[in-house]
């Protein structure tokens, strides 16, 4: 045991093994990932490169260390299978009957209950077999039902995303900043949750002015104070005494990046049944799809 | 503190310890002295970062003082400014002492230390300027990494040569661990630097490589370096042979094999086999942990003393008592306790459900502080307090301050780790209860951790005080040593001139 070379060789073998396993193989597998038409509901290509301004924003995000307080990674503990009745058919009583006779385990279905307030979930969080049995029974009785798969988990309960994050979501980012500590909320989907650029400007300038009791640091240095020339700028967050406070180009890039953070396209590897929001580019900050809460609502809900 | 003259190590063959210590003087003064300054600076910035939690507008006007730059700068100063150079200096001295040989090329090692510190300076300035790589634990930008690389090369090569030239050919467990640590760091750091910064990997392969690096650095490297020092203290300071050396070597190999695969969290957005393998590796890491416990516990409990020179048994104290009879030993012993706790907790956290529960909370931060500070930093403090007076050839200017630093460090780190672990668990349980309590707001959960953070800020103040004491003591020691040597050199020069005058 008196040879230093032995330690060298042994350690080298160990580091090489772990290198092959944890560095090379992931790199080979993930490096092969490409854009593809693998989103569930559409034939759109996914992922798409972030627009240029948003890519600059990632640099601002990196330089200012947002990653020490924010993760960008939605976890999911599993999925729940629901059965949604969309149409009770012409004979709701027969449908209720068929449902009760099936292996779906429903014991209290009745015609009135089935036909009210459609579409609705008649079974929630059941296993796939029971859901299939229910759908078959209902279909054979002339009703229409479908199976819905909903991702569940703490992060999804927090409204941080509608499905788990997958490798594809980060394909075009560099550096990939997943974060390790949640002093602030997860930002993987912040663009969908808070689609209003002006909200972000005000929040970055003075977090407590929009979120009461916020512990997020203020970023006044990403803004400049300048005299108003003619018309006040449309994105001035404050103007008084002939001066206005406007975002610098860094703040603009950062907010463009934040708005581009929306990993909500349903994928085969992580299906969601929720309708995907209308496709839009990240630097337009128009109100997003219907499944997105308004910034005010979500800010107060936080 | 033992005065350097009182070291009883009598060389079997090879040169005297005093001469060995003297050969290490220049490199160790550079490595330890600047490390102590970085450490003090690190805790100043760490404190600034932690005040920001209580007052979000505190020092927010200037970009370079924003939380996201101050915090990584402080951590880099700790890891690269303090921990690595202190560990390297300790390794050099231990190799020289055990090998009974002087440091090879002290000048080049000192130059390497200077280059390394230049790299740290460039890196820290880079982080303040917004050039961080964005990857935690390796934020220092590329230009700094180049300096670090060459600095490490100079130090590492001559440290290896020192080991190679050892007169006592035996190679003990202490050396095995330190040698593995010496190899490990450059391998993982250059891999991560190349694949994350120079030719960045694609997508989440970056995240995997980064997790891999972080675990290999903050858990494995830190464990190897710290345990090396622990074994040195047990074997050579407390003077107890290890209960079972082959088992310790087995622990070394198994930790290299298993711990090096850990670090990828269970729910990571990467192909499932990667976190699965990592989880398995994390659970199997129980093997080296048990092996280490089976070496350390009996060794430290053993009370029999091999007959000393006179043949009679001089004391019945256990090795643990012996180890903790001096302040440096007490620091190392506290570090060892922290190590065992940290590794047990890490093991528990490898279980996917636990991992998912505590992930992203202050608990994981507390755990990493337990590893990096309570274990590694305390152990290195012990090493510095043991080594510096020996290489300086004089006792500490304020020996009582050493004891004071011990208490500040132990209480300070306890005030950081315990509240944050508790706060983290509370945070985790609140995060998890969202599904059943939809009305729970994020700000409530986040602000619920603030009390814990406040206590930890007090801990940071204590650590800062301790670091100032260490730096003051060490720099004064170095200055006194330099002055004494200058005076001696002057004396002898004068004496020479006198004899020269007398002659003609």
**CA of B94 vs chain A CAs: smallest distance (Å):** 15
Q: What is the mean pLDDT of each run of 10 residues along chain A (302 residues)?
A: 77 88 85 70 74 93 96 89 83 82 75 75 81 85 84 89 88 92 94 93 93 91 89 82 90 96 76 45 34 35 34
Tens-place pLDDT, residues A88-115: 778 888 888 888 877 777 777 777 777 7
Q: Which of A114-118, B55-59, B219-223 has the lowest mean pLDDT?
A: A114-118
Residue B110 tokens read as: 């000192």
pLDDT at A42: 61
Is residue A188 a part of any domain in this protein?
yes
Q: Which residues in chain A are closer than 8 Å to B275, comparing Cβ atoms?
A: none
* B positions 168-187 inside 8 Å of A (CB): 169-171, 175-176, 179-180, 183-184, 187
- Best A124, A182, A208, A269 member to test B by mutation, with max B CBs in 10 Å, is A182
Tell which residue, B261, B207, B432, B363, has the closest CA to residue A165.
B207
Q: Is A181 helix (H, G, I), strand (E, B) or coil?
A: strand
**CA of B185 vs chain A CAs: smallest distance (Å):** 10
Is residue B73 a part of any domain in this protein?
yes
Instruction: Using CA coordinates, name the residue in chain A closest to B432.
Output: A154
A81 CB neighbour count, 10 Å cutoff: 19
Is residue A96 a part of any domain in this protein?
no
Q: How far is CA A125 from CA A78, A81, A130, A150, B435, in A?
A: 11, 5, 10, 9, 14
CB distance from B67 to chain A under 8 Å?
yes
Tally of domains within chain A: 1
Are A167 and B267 an interchain contact pair (Cβ–Cβ within 8 Å)? Answer: no
pLDDT at A278: 41
Is residue A185 a part of any domain in this protein?
yes
Task: Give the list of residues 6+ apart from residue B6 with CB closer than 8 angstroms, or none.
Answer: none
Residue A159 tokens read as: 């409204």
Instruction: Using CA coordinates, name the residue in chain A closest to B127.
Output: A63
A22: nearest CB among B180, B184, B261: B261
Cα A108 from Cα B104, distance rounded (Å): 86
Q: What are phi and psi of B408, to 5 degrees?
A: -60, -45
Cα A153 from Cα A142, distance rounded (Å): 35
CB distance from B190 to chain A under 8 Å?
no
Is residue A242 a part of any domain in this protein?
yes
CB B99 within 8 Å of CB B162: yes
B186: exposed, middle or buried (Cβ count in 10 Å: 0-12, 13-18, 19+): middle
B130: nearest CB among A30, A63, A176: A63
A15: nearest CB among B184, B267, B359: B184
CB A22 within 8 Å of CB B257: no
Helices (H) and strands (E) in chain B, counts: 20, 0
Are A221 and B205 an interchain contact pair (Cβ–Cβ within 8 Å)? Answer: no
Q: Which of A276-280, B167-171, B325-329, B455-459 has the lowest mean pLDDT?
A: A276-280
> Nearest 5°: CA angle at B224, between B219 and B230?
115
Is residue B179 a part of any domain in this protein?
no
CB A74 within 8 Å of CB A188: yes
Is residue B50 a part of any domain in this protein?
yes
B365: nearest CB among A174, A181, A219: A181
Residue A133 CA, distance from chain mean position: 32
Is residue A129 a part of any domain in this protein?
no
Is residue B59 a part of any domain in this protein?
yes
Is residue A110 a part of any domain in this protein?
no
Q: Is A87 helix (H, G, I), strand (E, B) or coil?
A: strand
CB distance from B207 to chain A under 8 Å?
yes
pLDDT at A294: 34
Tell which residue, B453, B426, B454, has the closest CA to residue B440.
B426
The answer, yes or no, to whether residue B114 has pLDDT greater than 90, is yes
CB distance from B188 to chain A under 8 Å?
yes
pLDDT at A221: 94
What is the Cβ-side half-sphere exposure of residue B219, based on CA atoms within 13 angstroms? 30
Stretch B16-41: mean pLDDT, rounded?
A: 94
pLDDT at A118: 77
Tell which residue, B221, B34, B197, has the closest CA to residue B116.
B34
> Nearest 5°: CA angle at B125, between B217 and B39?
55
Stretch B48-67: mean pLDDT, rounded?
A: 87
Is residue B225 a part of any domain in this protein?
no
CB B109 within 8 Å of CB B28: no
Are A14 and B256 an interchain contact pair (Cβ–Cβ within 8 Å)? Answer: yes
Cα A46 from Cα B404, distance rounded (Å): 60
Q: Which of A26-35, A209-218, B142-151, B463-472 has the lowest mean pLDDT?
A: A26-35
Is residue B489 a part of any domain in this protein?
no
Are A154 and B365 an interchain contact pair (Cβ–Cβ within 8 Å)? Answer: no
Domain holding B105, by residue range, is 18-169
Tell which residue, B76, B75, B93, B88, has the closest CA to residue B31.
B88
Is residue A94 a part of any domain in this protein?
no
Q: Which residues in chain B are closer than 8 Å to A76, comparing Cβ atoms?
A: 267
Stretch B327-343: mean pLDDT, rounded?
A: 96
pLDDT at B12: 47
Domain CATH code at residue A185: 1.10.760.10
pLDDT at B498: 87
Tell which residue, B402, B370, B385, B419, has the closest CA to residue B466.
B402
Q: What are phi and psi of B204, to 5 degrees?
A: -75, 0
Say which residue, A123 or B19, is predicted with more confidence: B19
Cα A225 from Cα A243, distance rounded (Å): 7
Q: Would the ipTM clear 0.85, i.e. be above it? A: yes
Cα B276 from Cα A268, distance rounded (Å): 21
B208: nearest CB among A2, A22, A179: A22
The radius of gyration of chain B from alpha carbons, rounded to an integer in Å, stands at: 24
Q: How far is CA B460 from CA B14, B128, B369, in A?
A: 45, 21, 12
The H-assigned helical ranges of B215-326 are: 222-232, 245-258, 273-284, 286-301, 319-323
Are B209 and A221 an interchain contact pair (Cβ–Cβ within 8 Å)? Answer: no
Task: Give the list of residues 6+ apart from residue A257 with CB closer than 8 angstroms, or none.
Answer: A50, A53, A54, A55, A56, A57, A58, A60, A61, A282
B201: nearest CB among A31, A69, A76: A31
Stretch B448-474: mean pLDDT, rounded?
A: 95
- Best A7, A49, A270 member to test B by mutation, with max B CBs in 10 Å, is A7
What is the Cβ-side half-sphere exposure of residue B111, based on CA atoms within 13 angstroms? 10
Whether the upstream peptide bond of residue A175 has omega within 30° of 0, thus cis, is yes
- Best B206, B253, B430, B433 member to test A by mutation, with max A CBs in 10 Å, is B206
The answer, yes or no, to whether residue B8 has pLDDT greater than 80, is no
A208: nearest CB among B56, B269, B431: B56
Region for residue B134 given its phi and psi (left: phi exceeds 0; alpha: psi -120 to 50; beta: otherwise): left
The answer, yes or no, to whether residue B422 has pLDDT greater than 90, is yes
Confidence of residue B455 (pLDDT cuts 50, 70, 90): very high
CB distance from B134 to chain A under 8 Å?
yes
pLDDT at B7: 42
Cα A302 from Cα A212, distance rounded (Å): 10
Domain holding A194, by residue range, is 52-67+165-260
Are A10 and B256 an interchain contact pair (Cβ–Cβ within 8 Å)? Answer: yes
Q: Which residues in chain B are closer than 8 Å to A193, comparing Cβ atoms?
A: none
pLDDT at A68: 96
Are B72 and A68 an interchain contact pair (Cβ–Cβ within 8 Å)? Answer: yes
DSSP state, residue A170? G
Is residue A88 a part of any domain in this protein?
no
Say which residue, A100 or B311, is predicted with more confidence: A100
**CA of A68 vs chain B CAs: smallest distance (Å):** 6
Cα B79 from Cα B366, distance rounded (Å): 16
Are B209 and A73 an interchain contact pair (Cβ–Cβ within 8 Å)? Answer: no
Confidence of residue B150 (pLDDT cuts 50, 70, 90): very high
**CA of A280 vs chain B CAs: smallest distance (Å):** 22
* CA quadruple B222, B223, B224, B226: dihedral, nearest 10: 80
Stretch B487-498: mean pLDDT, rounded?
A: 91
List, as one string, the DSSP characters of B414-449.
Answer: HHHHHHHHHHHHHHHHHHHTTTT-TT--HHHHHHHT
CB B476 within 8 Å of CB B399: no
Sheet holding A238-240, edge to edge: A223-227, A243-247, A238-240
Tally of domains within chain B: 1
A18: nearest CB among B201, B204, B261: B261
The answer, yes or no, to whether residue B278 has pLDDT greater than 90, is yes
Q: Which residues in chain A are closer than 8 Å to B196, comparing Cβ atoms?
A: 175
Are A67 and B249 an interchain contact pair (Cβ–Cβ within 8 Å)? Answer: no
């Amino acid at each position: 045991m008196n040879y230093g070379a032995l330690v060298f060789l042994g350690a080298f073998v160990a580091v090489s093994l772990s290198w092959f396993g944890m560095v090379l193989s992931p790199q080979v597998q993930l490096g092969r990932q490409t854009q593809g038409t693998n989103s569930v509901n559409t034939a759109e290509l996914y992922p798409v490169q972030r627009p240029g301004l948003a890519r600059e924003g990632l640099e601002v995000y990196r330089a200012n260390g947002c990653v020490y307080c924010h993760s960008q990674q939605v976890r999911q503990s599993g999925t729940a299978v629901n059965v949604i009745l969309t149409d009770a058919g012409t004979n709701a009583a027969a449908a209720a009957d068929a449902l009760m006779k099936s292996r779906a385990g429903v014991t209290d279905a009745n015609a009135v209950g089935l036909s009210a307030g459609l579409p609705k979930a008649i079974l929630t969080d059941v296993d796939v077999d029971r859901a299939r049995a229910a759908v078959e029974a209902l279909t054979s009785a002339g009703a229409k039902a479908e199976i819905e798969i909903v991702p569940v988990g703490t992060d999804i309960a927090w409204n941080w995303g509608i499905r788990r994050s997958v490798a594809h979501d980060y394909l075009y980012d560099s550096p990939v900043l997943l974060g390790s500590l949640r002093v602030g909320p997860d930002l993987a989907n912040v663009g969908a949750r808070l689609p209003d650029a002006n909200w972000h400007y005000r929040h970055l300038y003075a977090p407590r002015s929009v979120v009461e009791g916020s512990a997020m640091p203020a970023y006044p240095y990403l803004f400049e104070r300048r005299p108003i020339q003619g018309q006040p700028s449309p994105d001035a967050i404050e103007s008084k005494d002939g001066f206005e406070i406007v975002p610098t180009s860094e703040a603009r890039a950062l907010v463009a990046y934040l708005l581009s953070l929306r990993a909500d396209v349903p994928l085969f590897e992580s299906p969601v049944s929720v309708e995907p929001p209308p496709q839009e580019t990240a630097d337009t900050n128009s109100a997003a799809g219907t499944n997105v809460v308004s910034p005010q609502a979500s800010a107060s809900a936080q | 503190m033992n005065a350097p003259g009182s070291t009883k190590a009598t060389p079997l063959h090879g040169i005297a310890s005093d001469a060995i210590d003297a050969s290490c003087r220049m490199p160790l003064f550079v490595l330890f002295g600047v490390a102590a300054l970085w450490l003090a600076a690190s805790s100043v910035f760490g404190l600034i970062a932690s005040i920001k939690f209580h007052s979000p507008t505190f020092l927010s006007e200037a970009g370079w003082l924003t939380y996201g730059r101050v915090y990584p700068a402080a951590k880099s100063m700790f890891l690269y400014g303090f921990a690595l150079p202190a560990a390297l200096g300790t390794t050099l001295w231990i190799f020289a002492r055990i090998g009974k040989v002087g440091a090879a090329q002290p000048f080049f090692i000192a130059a390497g230390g200077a280059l390394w510190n230049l790299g740290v300076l460039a890196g820290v300035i880079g982080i303040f300027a917004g050039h961080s790589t964005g990857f935690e634990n390796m934020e220092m930008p590329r230009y700094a990494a180049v300096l670090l690389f060459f600095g490490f090369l100079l130090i590492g090569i001559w440290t290896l040569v020192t080991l190679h030239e050892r007169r006592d050919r035996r190679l003990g467990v202490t050396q095995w661990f330190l040698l593995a640590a010496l190899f490990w760091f450059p391998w993982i750091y250059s891999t991560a630097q190349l694949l994350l910064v120079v030719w960045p990997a694609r997508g989440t392969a970056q995240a995997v490589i980064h997790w891999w690096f972080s675990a290999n650095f903050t858990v494995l490297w830190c464990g190897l370096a710290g345990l090396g020092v622990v074994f040195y203290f047990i074997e050579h300071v407390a003077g107890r042979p290890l209960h079972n050396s082959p088992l310790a070597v087995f622990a070394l190999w198994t930790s290299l094999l298993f711990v090096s695969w850990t670090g990828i969290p269970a729910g990571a957005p990467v192909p499932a086999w990667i976190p699965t393998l990592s989880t398995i590796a994390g659970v199997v890491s129980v093997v080296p942990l048990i092996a280490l416990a089976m070496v350390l516990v009996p060794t430290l409990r053993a009370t029999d003393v091999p007959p000393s020179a006179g043949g009679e048994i001089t004391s019945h104290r256990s090795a643990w008592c012996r180890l903790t009879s001096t302040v440096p030993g007490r620091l190392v012993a506290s570090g060892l306790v922290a190590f065992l706790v940290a590794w047990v907790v890490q093991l528990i956290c490898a279980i996917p459900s636990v991992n998912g529960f505590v992930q992203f909370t202050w608990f994981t931060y507390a755990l990493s502080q337990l590893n990096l500070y309570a274990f590694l930093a305390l152990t290195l403090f012990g090493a510095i307090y043991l080594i510096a007076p020996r290489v300086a050839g004089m006792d500490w200017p304020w020996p009582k301050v050493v004891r004071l630093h011990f208490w500040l460090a132990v209480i300070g780190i306890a005030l950081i780790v315990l509240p944050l672990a508790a706060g983290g668990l509370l945070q985790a349980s609140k995060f998890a209860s969202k599904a059943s309590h939809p009305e729970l707001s994020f700000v409530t959960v986040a602000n619920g951790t603030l009390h814990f953070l406040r206590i930890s800020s007090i801990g940071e103040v204590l650590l800062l005080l301790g670091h100032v004491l260490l730096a003051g003591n060490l720099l004064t020691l170095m200055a006194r040593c330099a002055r004494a040597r200058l005076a001696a050199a002057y004396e002898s020069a004068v004496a020479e001139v006198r004899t020269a005058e007398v002659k003609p």
